[in-house]
Amino acid sequence: MNVTGSYYDLGVGEPIKDFILRDSGDEIAFDIQHSDGYYYTVNIKRHQGTLFKGTAISQPDGETATLTCRVFEDIEEGIMVIAGSGWRYAFKPDNYRWHVELQRE
């Protein structure tokens, strides 16, 4: 399946790389080369309904963020939206909101 998309935070779109959809859509993985200079590998799994939870691992330092999001999909249009409500690091009190838009080519 060919998919294109972008990751957004602070209104800046970052290209999604190596998108993988597994287990009938219950698991999603992708990579982001972020403008902050880090490369992130994101893995999320369905927790309940549209609620997904997972992790983002940054490179080169290997820090892990805990993620919470909702995944919405329009199969007929080939569109998926991931609305991230949580991106938290254990050593920081901050929570970052994030957003991903994907569209089948």
pLDDT digits (tens, 9 = 90+) for 30-72: 999 888 889 999 999 999 999 999 999 999 999 999 999 999 9
* List of domains in the chain: 3-104 (2.40.160)
The tokens of 42 are what?
């994101």
Is 1's pLDDT higher than 70?
no
Average confidence score pLDDT of the chain: 90
Long-range contacts of the stretch 16-20 (C-beta < 8 A, 24+): 16/100, 16/102, 19/102
pLDDT number for residue 5? 84
Model confidence band, residue 10 (pLDDT cutoffs 50, 70, 90) = low
Residue corresponding to tokens 């790389």 = 17
Least confident of 22-31, 43-52, 89-98: 89-98
Q: Which residue from 104, 105, 63 is spatially nearest to 87, judged by alpha carbons? A: 63
Residue bearing the bigger pLDDT, 78 or 55: 55
More confident residue, 67 or 97: 67
Question: pTM of the prediction?
Answer: 0.86
CA distance 19 to 32: 10
